[in-house]
Amino acid sequence: MKKANDHGKFKYGMVIDIDKCTGCGTCMVACAAENNVAVRADQSDKERTITWMRLYKISNGKEFPKAEVSYFPRPCMHCDHHPPCVSVCVATATKLDFNTGIVSQIYTRCIGCRYCQAACPYGARYFNWWDVFPQDKGMDRYLTPEVSPRMRGVVEKCTFCHQRLMRAKTLAYAEDRREIEEGEYVTACAEACPAQAITFGDLNNPEHEVSKLIKHPFTFRLLERIGTEPKVYYHSNRDWIRKLGDNFLPGEYTPVVNKSWAEEEWSTKPGRDEF
Amino acid sequence: MKDPVNSPKKSSDRGGDRPPSGFFPRWMNINLLAQDVSFFILGLIGASIVGWIIFPAVLYSKHPQPINFNHALHLDSEKVDGIEGETKAEKCLFCHSFRDDGTFAGIQKLEKCTECHDDPESPLGETPAEKTFMTKYVANEEEIPWLVYSKQPDCVYFSHIAHVKMGNIDCATCHGVFADNEKLPLYVKNRLTGYSRDIWGKRISGFYWNKKFSDRMKMDDCARCHTEKDQEQNNACFVCHK
């Protein structure tokens, strides 16, 4: 398949280890605080709640002795190949930046038609129904100055904390460097995760941890077969989780087993094939 | 009886007697045409006066700065200690400096002023502006409510260090020449948007034949300079937007 982002210098991406994730929700909190995500009086109304980073609970659907539950965090996938939201945007408010691989969202350009929200196969986009940061009530003091708060009537989504990339670049310039190093630019969720389940880095740089992790056979992406080439990878050594990563017909899914490299790496960990 | 069809035209006809013109067809009435053209020109002049003079006069309000800061005086290395610099930008950076993490301090707080103007009782110069500054702000330790000419909308991210240090662009390229100013210009504010007119530019026609950038600071100007300097990758949305 043709790759759209081959000529870019950087390709920032994320690997989320589902086996490490405890479902604590710190990533959601850190993301909301970093990115000035709107908080409303009634956050239980999930149809209207904005969560750039969202935790989903999954289970293998079996009875007690074999029942198993896991959580997976879902940011914007930052699709690398014809992102569906970018293709449908009528206002060119969202674009794939070939130089960083980040799918941008410009709130002042968005007209709020919500076409992108319908197009996104991952449900990563959210619509602002209200203005939530009134200027006169002092709530704006809690905002991150580097992230523009959204107005009502626009769509927003995870930006891979691109303001942190800007901050890292600015620091590098102050120290007379042109390039930033691994670990200088990480997203808020990756930094906050207490289990260190989220790894963030440049997928184009073979030195970075993420580009090593994505070569692992147990690494998968969500809805990989629709060809959007997400830059958010998931990692799990449990077969039923990998199976949930896509809509497989009965018998279509082939478990990742008997691969010599994987066996060697993971043979010491008991219980892998029990489920 | 004369045949009305073949009889010569009377002056009672529309337009009156006139010699047939070679350029205009016979049916066209020159007088009426001249009337129409003159109405059009009058309308154009009227609309231009409204659009270019009256409307901007109504749209923008002018505000003086709280005190008159004399840039020319402060950039004089004989009067101010330590303001030497090879380039103009280095002199500007004496006050409008970068912080350690590379962010730009912009217009400094009172703290920077009081590094020199430390004693409210003994002013360093004799200007009335300094007297006001000393008695009103330094004595009360009150920040000066400067009106920022180049304040961009909230959605704009701009890295000064990337342009000034890494790109070697002079401050005046975007901000205009402030270094020789003895008097701060009036702050011109758009009544509708609340933004400074320095963002939109003073030239209503919008044409810039000499490629001068200092008059306005719009997105297209950023993009044009990026393109000219072969930095097209920086025209991506998430470079200047946040």
pLDDT at A112: 94
Domains detected in chain A? 12-266 (3.30.70.20)
pLDDT digits (tens, 9 = 90+) for A9-64: 899 999 999 999 999 999 999 999 999 998 887 888 888 899 999 999 999 888 88
Whether residue A67 is predicted with pLDDT greater than 60 in this model: the reply is yes
Whether residue B192 is predicted with pLDDT greater than 90 in this model: the reply is yes
C-alpha distances in angstroms, B3 versus B7, B8, B26, B57, B152? 6, 10, 21, 65, 79
| CB-CB under 8 Å, A148 with B238 | no
Q: Are B129 and B70 in contact (CB under 8 A)?
A: yes
- A247 contacts: CB under 8 Å, gap ≥ 6: A223
| CB-CB under 8 Å, A100 with B162 | no
Q: What percent of chain B has pLDDT over 90?
A: 31
Nearest to B101 among A147, A174, A178 (CB): A174
Render the burial of B184-209: b for 16+ CB within 10 Å, e for the rest.
Answer: beebbbeeeeeebbbbbbeeeeeeee
Please tell me the distance from the alpha carbon of residue A131 to that of residue A41, in angstroms, as a whole number. Answer: 13
pLDDT digits (tens, 9 = 90+) for A105-119: 999 999 999 999 999
CB contact B155 to A (< 8 Å): yes
* pLDDT bracket for residue B129 (50, 70, 90): confident
CB contact B106 to A (< 8 Å): no
Task: Please list the helix, strand and coil fractions of chain B in percent, rounded to the nearest 5, in that order.
Answer: 35, 5, 60
Q: Which residues of A touch B157 (CB under 8 A)?
A: 146, 163, 166
pLDDT at B205: 77
DSSP line for B9-58: PPTTSTT-S-PPPSSS-TTS-HHHHHHHHHHHHHHHHHHHHIIIIIHHHH
| Length of chain B counted residue by residue | 242
Higher pLDDT, B189 or A134: B189
pLDDT at B126: 80
* pLDDT bracket for residue A2 (50, 70, 90): very low
Q: Closest by alpha carbon to A57, among A29, A18, A30?
A: A18
Q: Are B161 and B200 in contact (CB under 8 A)?
A: no
Q: Which residues of A touch B237 (CB under 8 A)?
A: 95, 97, 104, 106
β A232-235/A12-17 pair status: parallel
Please tell me the distance from the alpha carbon of residue B68 to that of residue B58, in angstroms, as a whole number. Answer: 25
Whether residue B141 is predicted with pLDDT greater than 70 in this model: the reply is yes
Q: Closest by alpha carbon to B202, among B180, B222, B186?
A: B186
Per-domain boundaries in chain B? 30-61, 64-107+146-240
Instruction: Give pTM, 2 decimals.
Output: 0.83
For all residues of chain B together, what is the average pLDDT? 84
CB contact B100 to A (< 8 Å): yes
| CB-CB under 8 Å, A166 with B159 | yes
pLDDT digits (tens, 9 = 90+) for B5-30: 555 554 445 555 555 556 767 777 78
Q: What percent of chain A has pLDDT over 90?
A: 61
Q: Which residues of B touch A159 (CB under 8 A)?
A: 238
pLDDT digits (tens, 9 = 90+) for B198-234: 888 887 777 776 665 567 888 888 898 899 888 888 8
CB contact B154 to A (< 8 Å): yes
pLDDT digits (tens, 9 = 90+) for A117-150: 999 999 999 999 988 776 677 777 888 889 999 9
| CB-CB under 8 Å, A99 with B236 | yes
* First-residue to last-residue Cα distance in chain B: 89
